[in-house]
A and B are shown apart, each in its own frame.
Chain A
Amino acid sequence: MSNKDIKKATHHVNQNEGLIFERSSPGKKGYRLAPLDVPEVDYKKALGSSARADLGNMPEVSEMEIIRHFTRLSTWNYAIDLGMYPLGSCTMKYNARVNEVVARFPGLANAHPYQPAEVSQGAMRVMKTLSDCLLDITGMDAITLQPAAGAHGEMTGILLMHAYLQSKGNPRKKILIPDSAHGTNPATAAICGYAVENLKSNSRGMVDVSALAAQMNEDVAGLMLTNPNTLGIFEQEIHKIAEILHQKGGLLYMDGANMNALVGKTRPGDFGVDVMHLNLHKTFSTPHGGGGPGSGPVACKKILEPFLPKPVIVERADGTLAFDYDRPKSVGRVRMFYGNFGMHVRALAYTLANGPDGLRQTTEDAVLNANYIRKKLEGDYTLPYQSPSMHEVVFSDSIQEQKGVKTGDIAKRLIDYGFHPYTVSFPLVVHGAIMIEPTESESLEELDLLVDAMKSIAREAEEDPEFVRNAPHTTRVKRLDETAAARKPILRWKPASAKSAGE
């Protein structure tokens, strides 16, 4: 087996680079301070026993070395800017550069969170305008931008539910969560003091409505549902689901991770959702940055508004904006200040670049792309659920597994073909899941390259399974020993002398 079928990528030289500490030597400098214009203070005298002796192994390097170091490191990463990132449920779409530019305008980037309201109107207006946009997109009544990420938004949403139910006399004990849910959902319910009860999916990959009706009672605070769910399937009986919950006094929480399938086409507020979070780093194109920062606004219906985290932005009669801290029913703060404001700026820039027509077209293209891949790969890979796909499609490795090739192997081989892998082994309801979300950002050519690559790997799995199992073959490091990393964790660098002394 060879790499002759790889069309998208060519193996090329990249630079080696050690840890920054290994480059350090005393006396090298990457900075120069401006001269001090006030009398110097001897810090050892001023701080006494609180003074620090030295800064240990912190590096000493020059500016040139810093540029090379981090540039070299960067070339070892895959990125959306390099190609398709078909990670299901992660919505890795194009991150427009204008978003980065406007977020760095000094008036926004250098604004102190406590500067007076009269010199913060621009920042507050960004937050207010984004809030208004998100409210119409979701069909909800009220919103907070405070949560820092999706899971943080989930926590905020469940706290709102808790506070509301408490105000009705009983916060209840349990949250229902489908077996296909993201791991953050049960973890969030636990943080909010709720027991988690699993809800089984039916044979179509959707919530089993009769099971829900049987499980729903006055002990259940609500259901956390992702829609479209993690199989990329729209919950067609969503209105019945909401009705069952509401009839017993419960609430419907929607995990908005998959909102990229819905924007401009349907609104959660219209189909019965009471509270939901959005991931601005997914649907609204703020960059993932290698794992964050994110932003997880929470939108809710009127009945939950009094409980929103404080402060909330209010518009005064004279048109100026202010923060309202006088919110006696608020669940409290979930974060200091007002949230990841820099992400609010970027998300608003994305919304303005799209407008209503662009947002709708974006959703349509995202769904079109997923369905195209589904059509092209069906047959080469098993499609465990026949229900129509929205913005992502989930296959399984059941054909390839007969030759001992698993989803994780196919994913690693995809790297050799110049792609980032799809989401592996999730959702848990599909054995050997291959979860592909192309997003709207891919051209027909790039989609076809992915299809070709996946078909080619299917052939390789048939003809030379060992070769696939040993992939990737072209990366600067081969498969890494994760078991060893966990068994005896090395979580920081130590100088050679300390290492030998400690061993």
Chain B
Amino acid sequence: MRYLPKSPADRAQMMREIGCKSIDDLFAPIPAEYRLNRDLKVPRQMAESEIIDYFHERANANAEDYALFLGAGAYHHYRPVVIDAMVSRGEFLTSYTPYQAEIAQGTLQAIFEFQTMICELTGMEVANASMYDGSTGAAEAMLMAVRITGRKAAVVARSVHPEYREVMHTYTQHQGLPITECDYLENGRVDMVDLEKKITPDTACVLIQSPNFFGTIEDVAAVADLVHKKGALLIVSIAEALSLGIVKPPVEADIVSMETQSFGVPLGYGGPYAGVMATKEKFVRQIPGRLVGETKDKDGKRGFVLTLSTREQHIRREKATSNICTNQALIATMATIYLTIYGREGLKELAAQNLAKATYAAGEFAKKGKVLFGGAPRFNEFVVKTKDDAHAINKRLLEKKMIGGFPLSWHYPELGNASLWCCTELNSKEQIDAAAQAVGQ
């Protein structure tokens, strides 16, 4: 086997020195009746060239070079080549969690830069080193709010990504934490009257998404006012992080839980992505996951370490703030490189291009169907209601090598034949015109 750096003579010598006659002597602790005496039923050993062929075939069975109009929690943005050039370096790719700080300053400094950038973008004071993704991060943010307030209930907007809501339910079901859902208005924003009714003295937190699942930007300040008046915390979930290039950060929130996939992370059929949690300094001891902090070495030189680990499972065990251990460090590094490339001006320009594309597309689609949720600002997604069934339209588009919007009727039956469309800097005018044409056929 080509990954194994030992000759038969090496093995024989080692066994001699250990004092075992056959390799199976070393497996003697396994009771004989449980030893596997056959080959595993996995494909035979392949040459590298065969592995390449195998995955080429799989890749070719997927859509390639299709025009993509899907967003809904996973966004197609251009990935500068510098990202992969850097994260392919073995020192980033094949290093472990930076517990041994003296030989992990590279990862530690990159994550410290990531935490800083997330704070700058979200308007929060502290950010952690990453969570698995936006959905689990949102669920953990709710548990964090429960720890802070001592209250035991939550309100979640129905305009939050349906799969995020499912994950929140899974995480909270055995914590005695009932979740109530709050409705949306005709402009797509949270129904404040309904929200006020849903918040009770038991409500630890209200969780909204902005831009929400329909692409609508919420009035975070107004929601925060109401939530804070009731003594609860506001959690803002962000699925399309690039929006922060031009959208006001949710500074009024107590916790921001963000998916960073838009920052240079491949769509990758849904993962790996990276979530991140950011909050106010006063809540830092309740935040889950790893944190990198600045300190000095014995000679007074600046360096970075994992810190405040008394919150974490390897120290606190069942009293930890979360069971999270492995997170998404390399993905956070990708995001850091992406954010460095675009930076202060580029993120704004890029986000503005996304807005322009979606605005143009919504205008074209409005000629063929009804664009819902007008009256509140959007970012790069919009909802179109059509005469034809959304799946039938998508079938039509697929024949023209276009992947249409996300049909909403399953999660939002009240919207009928409506789909959620996304346009980014990668959707050309030509593509948009062709899609609008096909929708209206």
Contact = CB atoms under 8 A, between A and B. Distances in A.
Given A43-B246, A162-B174, A342 B18 contact: no
Interface in B1-33: 1-6, 10-11, 13-15, 17-20, 23, 26-31
Contacts of A477: 101-102, 105, 297, 301, 303
B318 to A, nearest CB: 4
Given A38-B357, A123-B62, A148-B271, A66 B82 contact: yes
Interface string A52-87: 111111111101001101110111111111100101
A125 B57 CA distance: 10
Cβ-closest 5 pairs across A and B: A289-B330, A337-B270, A107-B59, A355-B45, A81-B90
B98 A351 contact: no
Contacts of A440: 3-4
B282 interface: no
B35 A265 contact: yes
Contacts of B17: 372, 375-376
A490 interface: yes
Interface in A436-477: 440-444, 446, 472, 475-477
A74 B92 contact: yes
Interface in B262-316: 266-272, 274, 284, 290-299, 301, 303-305, 307-310, 312-316
Nearest to B7: A444
B6 A444 contact: yes
Sorting the interface of chain B by its residue count into under 10, 10 to 19, 20 to 34 or 35 or more gives 35 or more
B409 interface: no
Given A76-B106, A133-B42, A491-B293, A151 B325 contact: yes
A52 to B, nearest CB: 5
B176 to A, nearest CB: 8
A7 interface: no
Given A78-B95, A345-B55, A358-B4, 12 more contacts: A36-B356, A38-B429, A51-B247, A55-B120, A108-B55, A133-B40, A187-B322, A291-B96, A371-B20, A415-B102, A446-B5, A489-B291
B61 A480 contact: no
A152 B167 CA distance: 12
Interface residues of A, number: 201
A57 B322 CA distance: 31
B417 interface: no
B216 to A, nearest CB: 10
A120 interface: yes
B62 A79 contact: no
B95 A290 contact: yes
A361 B1 contact: yes
A79 B93 CA distance: 8
Contacts of B42: 133, 136-137, 351-352, 354-356, 359
A421 interface: yes
A492 B102 contact: no
A208 interface: no
Interface stretch (B198-206, B223-231, B337-345): B337-345
Nearest to A343: B272
A384 B322 CA distance: 32
A58 B340 CA distance: 8
30 contacts: A30-B82, A40-B352, A41-B359, A52-B248, A55-B343, A58-B120, A74-B91, A78-B100, A79-B91, A107-B64, A108-B58, A115-B63, A121-B61, A122-B61, A125-B61, A149-B324, A187-B323, A238-B34, A263-B40, A290-B333, A333-B163, A336-B73, A341-B269, A342-B271, A357-B45, A360-B39, A368-B15, A444-B6, A472-B102, A489-B284
B394 interface: yes
B249 interface: yes
Given A120-B63, A480-B305, A489-B293, A290 B356 contact: no
Nearest to B14: A372
B157 interface: no
